Chain A
Amino acid sequence: MTSKPSYYEILGLPKEATQEEVRRAYRELSLSQHPDINRSPGANTQFLNLKEAFETLSNPARRKEYDQRLTQESDAPILEYTLYSRTRLPDLKEPQLLYAYLDYAVSEKYASQVTPTLNYCLVIDRSTSMQGERLDTVKAAAIELIRQSKESDVLSLVTFSDRAEVVLPAKRYPDHRSLEAQVHFIQASGGTEIYQGLEAGFQQIQWNQNRSLVNHLILITDGHTYGDNLACIDLANRAASQGVCITALGIGSDWNDEFLDTLTQITGGNTYYIAKTSDLRKLMQEKFASLNQVFAERVSLKLKPAQRVALGGVYRLQPEATPLNVSEQINLGSILRDTNLSILLEFIVQPVDEDLYRREIANGTVSLILPSDPSSVHRIPVTLSRVVGSLDKKEKPPQEIIQALTHITLYRMQERARQEASAGKIDEASSRLQRLATQFLSIGEKDLAQTALMEAERIQQTSMLSPEGEKAIKYATRSLMLPSKGKEERQY
């Protein structure tokens, strides 16, 4: 940030303030800051600054120029951009929904930064069910990652069944090729106790855990864990507080997606469904590539909704699309150099009695750490507000918001169908899946529509959804939330 206060700060206005607000703020401030009234030293300069601020911001052309200059001169490593579903908040006597789309991008000045140094641990399930193709593919994929790691990267590998073994202790290895034999020797046997693996993996990362590194644990499993779920969640909370992110890859259909989703979301990470073992290598490659793109870590949002406003839902659209739990502090994961961090917030706004020109929606901060410059925690203020106006039924929300909500709606529908299915509401779940299929078709997702129809029929016959089908629909719907590719030209 520039040391000199911006014209917006001088007038005490948000960047998106209307002309009306600029005029009002100037009128009010000039009353108290006019040198005739304000006798304090420096009053003259202060008033001149105020006048300059007003003259610039009240002229649309000059304001646009100033905004551009402000962005260019800004030293902030992260640029932010906010969109709302409505330009004005309609003055209604009933509750209403308002959506905000927040986007965070790496400032161009910082875009050519070097690749971050990783501190990662692969935690591999070697239970009996992994035997054969699964474990072989995991081993091959692990070797690929190890080969691609930089000499400066700290890497470790842990396997687990009923207990954990450290195959490669965390350190910087000068010769990655020599590690391959140890990975090859991994044999399948025993049960699945995820906590054992997570704990050992977390310990490996902790030895070198450091704010200048990208600290990441990748869990690869194909089974349910029994009795240690709470211990795992507890560990995820510890990991999150120390800036260690967890990614989970679930192979096949016999694992608990809700549990792994909760676990990874706590840390700002994500869970992936690997229907075909052959997809694993590609996915691990992509994940590894994105770790090497990390610019900001431990990105977290603390948001306090204003009076009579509630936060109804939070969705991360990219880099990894997933719903997030609404809590006091929401971990958003990382900002990558090549992919913005975009989130969608849903607010439920209750009517108020007062006549307000501008209604506060929520206030808070996004905090983050740059591994390339870890000395300080960066904080970006989040101030969401809307000018109150009359209801404009013709207004179309921004395309980004419509697109995101198209897919979020589908995600919510499949979630409800699953809830209905597990509550034994067979007919409801079945017809919801059919409606979902219609929507899938309308966006051209024919395979998904087929899967949804098959599940709709299956539940009628067997009173249950198939574990493959429900996971396929869930994770495919989730990945639909990713905005269509291409970096948008935007003014931040």
Chain B
Amino acid sequence: MITCPHCGNKELEGALFCKECGSQLLIETNGLGTTETGMRSKPDQFQINQQPEYSSEFSYSPSSDALITLYVVDHNAYIPIMEEGEVILGRSSEGQSMIPDIDLRKFKAFQSGVSRMHAAIRLFRNQILISDLGSSNGTSVNDTKLEPYSPHPLKNGDTITLGRMRIEVITKDKQV
């Protein structure tokens, strides 16, 4: 028997995918904490379930290790993003298995009109891009509304608005 690392479902030996959650079962840890998988995890694709390390981390002071920090203005909270790659911003809801990488639920995301999968931020070779994921209330950067699914570059000091939630972008070199 193989146990699915994501949902704990048991599959027969030789199974390549979990019937319950659809995850690929070929993932092998190669010692560095990174995962080696088949076609599912090309660097430009996102793996929402598998990066819980982002989901609840936030603090009331900026961290100097972060590549970029998101500052949730109305709640005076800092969310660090430590690694390159893509993270999804959104909110979790009751009875839903999908948890975005950065869960804004505790910042009254629902009341602020944040969708469950609202936007994605991609960090890659010093470039920061944000795309709206077809959210209900849209994403703006410095009050300019983004087209869904079309990436927009971010720089230090930009203000992102998810629904009505305002978030400031602080990049590493500009941090104190």
User: Footprint of B on A, CB under 8 Å?
Assistant: 85-86, 90, 92, 94-99, 348-349, 391, 393-394, 396-397, 399, 401-403, 405-406, 409-410, 412-413, 416, 427, 430-431, 434-439, 441-444, 446, 449-450, 453
Contacts and interface: CB of A to CB of B under 8 A. Distances in A.
Interface in B80-135: 95-98, 116-117, 133-134
Contacts of B1: 94
Given A97-B14, A431-B95, A393 B133 contact: no
Contacts, number: 99
B19 A438 contact: no
Given A406-B40, A439-B22, 11 more contacts: A86-B14, A94-B13, A95-B12, A96-B13, A97-B11, A397-B16, A401-B16, A416-B19, A435-B20, A438-B22, A441-B46
B95 A430 contact: yes
Given A86-B14, A396-B38, A450-B134, A435 B26 contact: no
A183 to B, nearest CB: 41
B98 A92 contact: no
Contacts of A99: 14, 16
B39 interface: yes
17 contacts: A90-B13, A397-B26, A402-B16, A403-B39, A405-B16, A406-B17, A409-B22, A431-B95, A435-B7, A439-B22, A441-B46, A441-B117, A443-B40, A446-B133, A446-B134, A446-B149, A450-B134
A96 B10 CA distance: 12
Contacts of B24: 402, 406
Interface residues of B, number: 36
Nearest to B21: A435
Nearest to B50: A442
Nearest to B120: A441
A409 B19 contact: yes
Contacts of B40: 406, 442-443
B48 interface: yes
Chain B residues touching A, majority SS: loop
Most buried by B among A92, A96, A435: A435
B12 A96 contact: yes
Q: Tell me the interface secondary structure of chain A in the complex.
A: helix
A427 B96 CA distance: 10
Interface string B1-43: 1000001000111111111111110101000000000111100
Nearest to B116: A453
A441 B50 CA distance: 13
Nearest to B6: A435
B39 A412 contact: no
A92 B13 contact: yes
Contact of A431 (B11, B14, B96, B134): B96
A251 B95 CA distance: 35
A435 B28 contact: no
Contacts of B46: 441-442
Contact of A438 (B13, B98, B133): B98
B38 A97 contact: no
7 tightest A-B contacts by CB? A97-B14, A409-B17, A96-B13, A96-B14, A439-B22, A402-B38, A435-B21
A85 B98 contact: no
A429 to B, nearest CB: 12
B175 interface: no
Interface string B146-166: 000100000000000000000
B49 interface: yes
B45 A443 contact: yes
B22 A437 contact: no
Nearest to B134: A450
B153 to A, nearest CB: 20
Contacts of B133: 446
A48 B33 CA distance: 58
Contacts of A97: 11-15
